[in-house]
Chains A and B, each alone.
Chain A
Amino acid sequence: MSSVTKSPPAVIRCQTCGKEIPLGADSCPACGRHHSESSPRLTLAILLILIFAGFAFTQYVVRLHRATEASLAKRWFNRGNQDMQANLPSLAAEDYRTALSYDRENRQYTLSLAEALLAANRMNEARSHLTSLWEEEPASGEVNLALARLHVRRGDRARAIGYYNNAINGVWDEQPRQQRIAARFELVRYLMQQHDLAEAQAELMALQADGPPDPSDQLLLGQMLLQANDPKRAIDAYDIVLRNDPRNADAWLGKGLAALQIGDYLAAERALATALEHDPNSEQARQQLDLVREVLRIGPAFRGLSLAERTQRVAEAFSAALKRLTGCAAQQGYSLAAPDTAKAGARASAAKTMSLPTVEATTPAPSNLQQLYTSGVQKQASATDAALRRNPDALEPTMQYVFEVERTAASICPTMDLTDRALLTLAQNESETVK
């Protein structure tokens, strides 16, 4: 043990009242308490024992307190989760905040708090918490994803995409592959909302290369590829699903739609028919199948058709287009003027022949409709079955006119019958091919 070399003595004060005790006196003159002499070495020994005892006691107290805090934190966190499920984000934020006050280092609580604040539209608070978390762990996938969502809501596109990419390449504690795939899907959705199809397609290509293991993800991938105007890749994605689950009606439907978009109507018909077979209640499959069949019925450009069949189809399409044009004008209350008075009789007879509706319209039609109508009336004589047979070179220009009518009318009159939808589909695929 230690001892202290002698030095000037301290003033001895009473332990109770603090008054000075004269040297040599045994008790305090003020309060009478006995003044005990104890050796420094004994005091040090007692001190060490007390420190050990204090250490053990403090350890016990702290452990007890920690257990209480952990239980309270969990309770408040669960309450927060319940409030979030009940769509009460402000209340949930308070609960998470309380949970966090008992377990300040818990990143999950902080993240949940930030998400609740985000849901409650308290952007600045959410940003502050998320920024703190990001500073601590910039590679965290969860934090980057939450920050991306924050910036999506703030309308900061560049930062949102940056954080989404960080999340996709970041560190995830649980199920990292699935989390990264989900984050990329979210990014694709955001890009599509932003009408940035090129970027969305690039992300979808990356997703396809990664090959989501989950069939539902593959299905989603196919749908998104379809939305992003990449039907060929969509078919690949659906094929992967169908390889594992050939009875998946959604995959057959998606494949049919993709084939329809490409212009592979036969494949589309097969796929849609199979989809309907596996899910007879699918209204979409039924409608799309009807459409494809109508396309196959009216389309004049399919291989194997004779000239007679082609001319007949073109003539029918022309007739339907002209009807669509006048019908649309009548529907919108536009008056279509005849090309000139000399031909007024021809127009009237044409209307009679084609059973065109006669509308008491007063508003002049937009110039494009009027031009198409004028052109149609002029073409009418050369667009009959017989005339087309005589002049097969007119097939192509006539069909171009039909497509032009269908496209224009679709932008003015969204409702249309099955034949017009079929012609519009052909028109769209035609323009895709041209592109």
Chain B
Amino acid sequence: MSTSEPVVAKPKDASGIKPAVSTPTRRQYWSSLRTMLSPQRFSLREEQFFLLLAVLIGIGSGLAVVCFRMSIEYLKLHLLGSGLLPSVPRVFLAPMLTGLVIAFLVIRFFPRARGSGVNQTKAALYIYDGYIPMPTVIGKFITSALAIGSGQSLGPEDPSLQIGAGIASALGRRLKLSREKLRLIAPVGAAAGLAAAFNAPITAVLFVIEEVIGRWTAGILGAVVLSAISSAVIERWFLGDEPLFRVPAYHLEHAGELGAYASLGVIGGFASLAFVKYIAYLRPRLRQLPSWTQYFQPAAAGLLIGLIGIKFPQVMGAGYSYMDQAMHEQYTWQILAILGALKIVTTGLSFSSGTPGGLFAPVLFMGAMIGGAVGMAERQLVPQLAIPVGAYALVGMGTLFAGILRAPMTSVFMILEVSGNYSIIVPVILSNAIAYFISRTFQPTPIFDLLSRQDGMDLPSLEEEREVPLLRVEDAMRPPLGQTLTGKLLLHEARQRVQGSAQDYFVVGMGGDEWSGMSRAVLLDMIPNSDIPLSQVLTARIPYLHPDHPLDTALRLIGGRPMLPVVHRAHVQQLLGVVSLDDVMRAYRGAGINESHPEPAPVVP
């Protein structure tokens, strides 16, 4: 920030003697005011401006998402009626007819509105320099509201994420941010959109970090958090701070309960797998059909969903109220299992047909139903485990979230945030971990990567990055062979020591946490029989490494030096080894041969 202060000219009288009290003129006032309000005085560095902008993006996205949710409610009320169980004609007609309108709008006006908002935001980050066109945002708003409001089996979170990202992108472009910041602005908006949709800022931040950005970057974290919080504040301002679900009370009373949750993890893992495989199979096949069929695909999906909805209207729309009912044990385990299975079918139909809308709410719905079914069945089989079904439904949500969307941290924090119950953390972690493991074992490519590859894009993923083994200094270092020197040695002693050694370069411990180095030739060129200690001769210091440092750090620090010392973290003067550029390169080459970068999954045509 500039430190320029307003300068007020001090008037002098004709005699040059300063008056006792100086009275500024009107002109001087204006001048000082102009200086006070000058842009230079208020100028911000780009980082600060970026944080301010994140707050504004959060507010804007929050407002947009609140309006989006209102639109969905309004459309639902008018298309499906006010009852929880809509009438048969509405159930049958609303999704089908609205599907025709949606298809027309998407194909003619908003072609980029179809597909996953998460992937489009990622594409904006990695491919389009943060660019998300405003018409896409408007199209996503309208078509998603129509789809969800008419009962298509999709959720509002994914579109909200894209709406937030689109608003951020438009602002960033208008404000002419740097290329780097413009790239990062879309995820900032995405976090805001998701936070407002879920009323869960921590979940939004984690999801954006895990899924959209794909790496933990301190530079972006502050902006993402700020935008998510300001967006959540706006959402709560208008819609209240009630949690997404009214979760029944739960306490882990016996360790034996964990066995029950583990079984839920197994079932949830295979259910996740079934859903992802189903999408992976159905979506490309529907896209292969002649292009004119795309006008009718959402309507056909709507028709099928309507037919199912006549008997099971719960599977229509986002279904949050039905998740609430599942938590409060309204259904038998058989009905819950049927609803979970039907939701997999209907969501696959809606999503694969190109109808705009998100996967988050349907995934939570599946999880709630499957979790509830497992809970009720277990209660019948093992009545001693008096675990409330609501707890199972809640854990089921996290389980399917971890299994399908493959965002394990987000899934845990989401459950904590939407339930406000920290007693459930152990069951959630256990069940999520099992489902995540099963899903990863049998479906190596996460669903968002699968979708982006189906769309012809290869976007980076945090999960795949996690798979790449991180090389460390300890993988490249070698033991310190031969003589090591210390700064206390006198020059002639040092000469004696190196004379018999085959080494060309020696690292020298200077005492404290300082290290230096010198070549054999330089040492031998010095005056013999000198009583000067080495520490007086060696003024330059070299950096040192620890064994756990990433190998990249060694590469950056080594510069033109022949080698660097690798020292103990607790005893910096204890030399554990040395590492040279050759060692580093050898380690990289070895890793390349032995542990190759995981190949991307084949693109399904």
Contact A132 B246 (CB under 8 A): yes
The secondary structure that dominates the B interface is helix
Contact A51 B60 (CB under 8 A): yes
Interface residue? B521 (CB, 8 A): no
Pairs of residues from A and B, 6 with the lowest C-beta to C-beta distance, nearest first:
A7-B178, A128-B328, A135-B249, A43-B174, A124-B329, A54-B63
Contact A62 B239 (CB under 8 A): yes
Interface residue? B479 (CB, 8 A): no
Contact A58 B179 (CB under 8 A): no
Contact A43 B175 (CB under 8 A): yes
Contact A128 B131 (CB under 8 A): no
**17 A-B contacts (beta carbon < 8 Å):** A2-B52, A9-B179, A10-B176, A10-B182, A16-B133, A40-B175, A43-B175, A44-B175, A61-B66, A94-B85, A98-B84, A101-B321, A122-B330, A125-B329, A128-B248, A128-B389, A128-B390
Given contacts A2-B44, A54-B60, contact A132 B249 (CB under 8 A): yes
Nearest B residue to A42 via CB reads B174
Nearest B residue to A44 via CB reads B175
Within A38-63, the residues touching B (CB, 8 Å) are 38, 40-41, 43-44, 47-48, 50-51, 54-55, 57-59, 61-62
Within A1-56, the residues touching B (CB, 8 Å) are 1-5, 7-13, 15-18, 38, 40-41, 43-44, 47-48, 50-51, 54-55
Interface residue? B602 (CB, 8 A): no
Q: B37-67 toward A: CB 8 Å interface, digit per residue (1/0)?
A: 0010011111001001000100110011011
Q: Tell me which residues across on chain A come within 8 A of B29, comparing CB atoms.
A: none
A237 to B249, CA, bound (A): 43
Q: A170-187 toward B: CB 8 Å interface, digit per residue (1/0)?
A: 000000000000000000
Cβ-defined partner of A51 (8 Å) among B56, B172, B389:
B56
Nearest A residue to B132 via CB reads A18
Q: Tell me which residues across on chain A come within 8 A of B246, comparing CB atoms.
A: 104, 132
Minimal beta-carbon separation of A308 from chain B (angstroms): 74
Q: A379-392 toward B: CB 8 Å interface, digit per residue (1/0)?
A: 00000000000000
Contact A65 B73 (CB under 8 A): yes
Contact A62 B173 (CB under 8 A): no
Most buried by A among B43, B175, B180: B175
Cβ-defined partner of B44 (8 Å) among A4, A16, A131:
A4
Q: Tell me which residues across on chain A come within 8 A of B388, comparing CB atoms.
A: 128, 131
Contact B248 A13 (CB under 8 A): no
Interface residue? A72 (CB, 8 A): yes
Nearest A residue to B180 via CB reads A8
Contact A68 B77 (CB under 8 A): yes
Within B150-183, the residues touching A (CB, 8 Å) are 171-182
Minimal beta-carbon separation of B145 from chain A (angstroms): 13
Q: Tell me which residues across on chain B come within 8 A of A105, comparing CB atoms.
A: 240, 242
Q: Tell me which residues across on chain B come within 8 A of A43, comparing CB atoms.
A: 171, 174-175
Contact B52 A97 (CB under 8 A): no
Count of B residues near A, CB < 8 Å?
Answer: 58
Minimal beta-carbon separation of A64 from chain B (angstroms): 8
Contact B63 A41 (CB under 8 A): no
Q: B245-266 toward A: CB 8 Å interface, digit per residue (1/0)?
A: 0111100000000000000000
Contact A47 B171 (CB under 8 A): yes
Question: Which residues of chain A have a CB within 8 Å of any CB of chain B?
Answer: 1-5, 7-13, 15-18, 38, 40-41, 43-44, 47-48, 50-51, 54-55, 57-59, 61-62, 65, 68-69, 72, 75-76, 94, 97-98, 101-102, 104-105, 122, 124-125, 127-129, 131-132, 134-135
Nearest B residue to A11 via CB reads B129
Contact A62 B129 (CB under 8 A): no
Cβ-defined partner of A3 (8 Å) among B42, B329, B390:
B42
Given contacts A104-B246, A125-B328, contact A5 B60 (CB under 8 A): no
Minimal beta-carbon separation of A88 from chain B (angstroms): 15
Within B456-470, the residues touching A (CB, 8 Å) are none
Most buried by B among A5, A59, A72: A5
Contact A2 B43 (CB under 8 A): yes
Given contacts A128-B248, A132-B249, contact A15 B178 (CB under 8 A): no
Cβ-defined partner of A61 (8 Å) among B39, B70, B327:
B70
Interface residue? B128 (CB, 8 A): yes
Contact A125 B330 (CB under 8 A): yes
Interface residue? B422 (CB, 8 A): no
Cβ-defined partner of A18 (8 Å) among B85, B131, B328, B390:
B131
Q: Tell me which residues across on chain B come within 8 A of A5, comparing CB atoms.
A: 43-46
Interface residue? B4 (CB, 8 A): no
Q: Tell me which residues across on chain B come within 8 A of A8, comparing CB atoms.
A: 178-180
Q: B183-194 toward A: CB 8 Å interface, digit per residue (1/0)?
A: 000000000000
Interface residue? B82 (CB, 8 A): yes
Contact B329 A10 (CB under 8 A): no
Cβ-defined partner of B82 (8 Å) among A41, A62, A98:
A98
Contact A59 B238 (CB under 8 A): yes
Q: B485-513 toward A: CB 8 Å interface, digit per residue (1/0)?
A: 00000000000000000000000000000
Nearest B residue to A123 via CB reads B329
Interface residue? B126 (CB, 8 A): no
A68 to B131, CA, bound (A): 38
Contact B43 A13 (CB under 8 A): no
Nearest A residue to B134 via CB reads A15
Contact A94 B60 (CB under 8 A): no
Minimal beta-carbon separation of B279 from chain A (angstroms): 27
Q: Tell me which residues across on chain A come within 8 A of B49, comparing CB atoms.
A: 2, 4
Nearest A residue to B128 via CB reads A18
A131 to B389, CA, bound (A): 12
Q: Tell me which residues across on chain B come within 8 A of A75, comparing CB atoms.
A: 82
Interface residue? B74 (CB, 8 A): yes
Nearest A residue to B243 via CB reads A104
A4-B44, A11-B129, A18-B133 known; 9 other A-B pairs, CB under 8 Å? A1-B42, A3-B44, A13-B131, A40-B176, A51-B56, A65-B73, A102-B82, A128-B329, A132-B248
Interface residue? B454 (CB, 8 A): no
A75 to B82, CA, bound (A): 10
Cβ-defined partner of B84 (8 Å) among A12, A40, A59, A94:
A94
Contact A3 B39 (CB under 8 A): yes
A13 to B131, CA, bound (A): 8
Cβ-defined partner of B325 (8 Å) among A1, A11, A97, A132:
A97
Minimal beta-carbon separation of A388 from chain B (angstroms): 68
Interface residue? B83 (CB, 8 A): yes
Q: Tell me which residues across on chain B come within 8 A of A135, comparing CB atoms.
A: 248-249
Minimal beta-carbon separation of A57 from chain B (angstroms): 8
A18 to B177, CA, bound (A): 16
Minimal beta-carbon separation of A113 from chain B (angstroms): 9
A60 to B176, CA, bound (A): 33
A129 to B329, CA, bound (A): 9
Q: Tell me which residues across on chain A come within 8 A of B327, comparing CB atoms.
A: 128
Within B126-154, the residues touching A (CB, 8 Å) are 128-129, 131, 133-135
Q: Tell me which residues across on chain A come within 8 A of B70, comparing CB atoms.
A: 58, 61-62, 65
Contact B179 A10 (CB under 8 A): yes
Minimal beta-carbon separation of B50 from chain A (angstroms): 9
Q: Tell me which residues across on chain A come within 8 A of B240, comparing CB atoms.
A: 105
A105 to B241, CA, bound (A): 11
Nearest A residue to B178 via CB reads A7
Q: Tell me which residues across on chain A come within 8 A of B135, comparing CB atoms.
A: 16
Nearest B residue to A59 via CB reads B238
